[in-house]
């Protein structure tokens, strides 16, 4: 389970949202807030800057770290702080490896340019390459404070080792939460059991449904080892979209899922389904690597 947590901050509301999520979800762990001065940013230079950019950057870093400390003080936690200069995602990943970080928590986007909907390119790069689990928080700090945590947790399952690890993470880390295991039956078009009845697709649909029942029964057995009675559900559609829609329709507070499953891998490390959920989810998403 996470013991050494890194929270990258950049002064954006989402990065402080990540910090508040960390403080509320992992209060007994060791925290480090990391601010990276992006030396490639043009706003550090120009005739309107009354002092050398290095001094301007140092003052900005101090102000952002102080704000993070003020948030932490409200939870009686004193995090360690680290400030570096360089390319943000590279510095974050380097810190993760060099300091044996177990878990990264960061806002879904910050002040860097946005290259994908909802996910800034720094968060996206870290999510794809980090060798540890991470949580992506799309909400500002005030909204995270108002959210019930751990609350209702949705754990998508597909029979993969990563999905099993995600459920184990949720059961071990958040035993007081209400946890629902969801399996998405990936069928073409808008098929349902009723629409395929009597057609050649019916047998295939029944096989998928039986597989879903087996997977959800396995999640119940896994939860029972924790003396926990888990809730289960199924839905249909393309997994990434269906997970986000099911989450929104049923008012979950966070999602915990494996980094990839049986739907295939994306370009680097992050699975295509996990990537889609991280990009579209309006609530915190924790991606478990093991």
CA atoms within 13 A on the CB side of 37: 18
Residue 156's pLDDT band (cuts 50, 70, 90): very high
Whole-prediction pTM: 0.86
What percent of the chain has a predicted confidence (pLDDT) above 90? 62
DSSP-derived 3-state class of residue 269: coil
Residue 224 sits at the vertex; the CA angle it makes with 218 and 208, to the nearest 5 degrees, is 15
- Start-end of H helices in 5-80: 13-25, 53-73
Return all residues near 282 (Cβ < 8 A) that are at least 6 apart: 138, 139, 244, 248
Residue 97 has pLDDT above 60, yes or no: yes
Residue 269 has pLDDT above 50, yes or no: no
Residue 64 has pLDDT above 80, yes or no: yes
Q: Are 87 and 3 a contacting pair, CB within 8 Å?
A: no
The 10 Å CB-count burial string (b at 16+, else e) for 1-18 is ebebbbbbbbbbebbbbb
- Start-end of H helices in the chain: 13-25, 53-73, 88-98, 121-129, 141-146, 161-173, 193-196, 201-224, 239-249, 272-280
Q: Averaged over 278-285, what is the pLDDT? A: 93
What pLDDT is recorded for position 275?
86
Residue 272's pLDDT band (cuts 50, 70, 90): confident
Residue 232 has pLDDT above 50, yes or no: yes
Least confident of 65-69, 195-199, 238-242: 195-199
Residue 28's pLDDT band (cuts 50, 70, 90): confident
Output the six-digit token pair for 273. 């389904």
What pLDDT is recorded for position 215?
94
CA 173 to centroid of chain Cα atoms: 15
Please name each of the domains of the chain with its CATH number.
Answer: 4-145 (3.40.50.620), 152-255 (3.40.50.620)
Q: CA–CA separation, 104 vs 86, rounded Å?
A: 19
Least confident of 27-31, 156-160, 175-179, 187-191: 187-191
DSSP secondary structure code for residue 12 in this structure: S
């Amino acid at each position: 389970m996470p013991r050494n947590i890194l929270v990258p901050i950049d002064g954006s509301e989402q990065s402080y949202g990540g910090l508040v999520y960390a403080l509320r979800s992992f209060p007994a762990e060791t925290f480090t807030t990391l601010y990276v001065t992006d030396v490639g940013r043009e706003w550090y230079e120009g005739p309107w800057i009354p002092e050398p950019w290095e001094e301007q950057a140092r003052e900005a870093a101090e102000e952002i770290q102080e704000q993070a400390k003020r948030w932490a003080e409200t939870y009686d936690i004193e995090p360690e702080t680290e400030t570096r200069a360089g390319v943000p995602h590279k510095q974050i990943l380097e810190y993760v490896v060099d300091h044996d970080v177990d878990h990264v928590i960061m806002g879904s986007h910050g002040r860097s340019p946005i290259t994908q909907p909802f996910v800034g390119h720094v968060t996206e790069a870290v999510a794809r390459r980090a060798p540890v689990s991470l949580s992506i928080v799309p909400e500002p700090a005030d909204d995270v404070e108002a959210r019930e945590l751990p609350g209702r947790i949705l754990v998508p399952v597909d029979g993969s080792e990563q999905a099993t690890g995600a459920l184990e993470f949720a059961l071990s880390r958040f035993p007081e939460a209400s946890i629902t295991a969801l399996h998405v039956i990936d069928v073409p078009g808008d098929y349902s059991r009723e629409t395929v009845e009597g057609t050649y697709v019916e047998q295939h649909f029944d096989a998928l449904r039986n597989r879903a029942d087996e997977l959800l029964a396995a999640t119940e057995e896994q939860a029972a080892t924790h003396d926990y009675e888990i809730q289960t559900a199924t839905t249909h559609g393309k997994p990434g979209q269906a997970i986000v829609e099911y989450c929104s329709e049923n008012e979950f507070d966070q999602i915990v899922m494996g980094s990839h499953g049986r739907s295939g891998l994306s370009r680097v490390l992050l699975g295509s389904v996990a990537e889609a959920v991280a990009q579209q989810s309006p609530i915190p998403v924790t991606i478990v690597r093991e």
